[in-house]
Structure 1
Amino acid sequence: MGRITDTVKGLLIVNIIFFVGSLTLGNTALNLFALWFPKNDNFQIWQIVTHMFMHGDAGHIFFNMFALYMFGSHLENSIGQKKFLFIYFSAGLGAVGFQLLFTYFQFQPGYQAFIDAGISNEQILDLFRGTSNLNLSNYDINASEKTIENFKNAYHTPMVGASGAIFGVLAAFAVLYPNLPLYIMFIPVPIKAKYLIGGYFLLDLYSGITGQALLGPANVAHWAHIGGAVIGFITMWYWKKNSFNNRRWY
């Protein structure tokens, strides 16, 4: 889609550097730069930004960077560097908000069941840390196995990837160029951007609500995708709507 911009090139380079570094440092990089649930000992405030540059594997970073390469430069050339970076990072932060809210709803029922059973907050954290010899069979924990599984997964599963920011870019692109024909690999039929990107959003929404992954692995942070897309869509819709009046954003 034309010449790659310096901004997109810079984002690609930083993401690749983080990925190579994470391969070298392993769990140390994951513990420091992935976004952990705030109750987890690994959580640090800077992870709200650094997680956007971390990726789980080669396939994860390839598809994110491919989407950034395909759509990022075209979008930046249309709206300018400042607006592009605003969409990219605000969508990434929106992804954090949506995913953490979803994780909280997974964590809280199990946590409350443990508290109601008479287990203290510190004892719960010691269980997660593996430093507790507490015998759970001595407690009446009124929660299903699924609730307990969600509770544990929320604590132990970090969030990584630029997907939220990328979905913001895709949504903004669809707002700006809704009728631009796009091609999917191996399918020689053009699909308008609003249908292709909108359809992908609906698939993520379905997976986020039902927990059933229709595309990709089961551990995809669907609510992060949704959050990034919502922020990108709203921001670009507002700018497009007000691009010729005194509320224009610079």
Structure 2
Amino acid sequence: MNILRKPFRYTFFNATLALILINTAVHFLAGALGINRNFFGLNVVGFVYKYRFWQVITYMFMHGDFSHLFFNMLALFFFGIGVERALGSKEFLLMYFVIGALSGLFSVAVYYTYGIFLANNGFQPWTWRISLIGASGAVYGILFAYAVLFPRARIFIWGIIPVPAPVLVLGYAIIEFGSQFVGSSNVAHMTHLAGFAFAWLYFFVRMGVRPLRIWKDAYRN
């Protein structure tokens, strides 16, 4: 058997709720103790030049403010529990951390490469100072997974407008892509898109599942 596709024995132990509790505890402890989020956030200077390799995991537990934490954890609650029940807690955790780590590494690679470009053209490589924080990359991957596992599920926007889960993913992807190039904000839209991309890759490599085929078959009739 391909080791990449070796399944875990199914178990369920509410890993989603544990992640929410840990993220919440870390957020308030970091604030109370005055912890420098840049030390645990993922950035080029720390990861590449100071060898703080733990940042690829710890950045997922750092959040900028309460609203950042709240909306990430709310999405994780709504979509994570269903994904965890479908896949089992061990598979869910592997998916969560693999997608989160790869999304962060992708973002750091882009920041590093663009910084090199700026430096070679006489500018300060300001992208090296960007510190990536938050669980968004992993959470967007879980949203993608929910749409694959429950392709006919409908999600109510503002509690009113029913939207099929795959359409919601497509809509978010379009919004994030546009937001990456239009306007400026502290939101890592590129990392969100990477979460979708690596979730697709996870299904294909780990499970031999083709998400587009799943969605096509679900709405064929």
TM-score by length of 1: 0.72
Aligned partners of 1:34 and 1:159 also within 8 Å = yes
Ranges in structure 1 where 5+ consecutive residues have no aligned partner: 115-142, 243-250
- 1:180 alignment partner in structure 2: 153
Aligned equivalent of 2:42, options 29, 35, 42: 35
User: Where in structure 2 are the equivalents of 1:209-220 lying within 5 Å?
Assistant: 210-212=181-183, 218-220=185-187
Find the aligned partners of 1:18 and 1:29 in 2 and give their Cα distance: 12
Q: 1:161 & 1:5 partners in 2: Cα distance?
A: 23
Q: For residue 196 of structure 2, what is the amino acid of its counterpart?
A: A
Q: TM-score, normalised by structure 2?
A: 0.81
Corresponding residue for residue 26 of structure 2: 18
- Is contact 1:96-1:224 (8 Å) kept? yes
Q: CA contact under 8 A between 1:91 and 1:228: conserved in structure 2?
A: yes
- Counterparts of 1:120-135 in structure 2, within 5 Å, are none
1:220/1:68 Cα in 2 relative to 1: closer, same or farther (>3 Å)?
A: same
| C-alpha contact (below 8 Å) 2:45/2:129 kept by paired residues | no
Paired letter, 1:51: Y
Identity %: 30
More deviation, 97-106/74-83: 97-106
2:56 to 48, 51, 58: 48
* Root mean square deviation of aligned Cα: 2.2
* Alpha-carbon distance in 2 for matches of 1:196, 1:231: 17
Q: For the residues of structure 2 that align with 1:219 and 1:240, how far apart are their CA atoms?
A: 35
Which aligned pairs between 1:76-225 and structure 2 lie closer than 5 A? 76-114=84-122, 148=124, 151-152=125-126, 154-186=127-159, 188-208=160-180, 210-212=181-183, 218-225=185-192
Corresponding residue number in structure 1 for 2:3: none
Q: Counterpart in 2 of 1:235? A: 202
Corresponding residue pairs, total: 197
In structure 1, the residue matched to 2:216 is: none
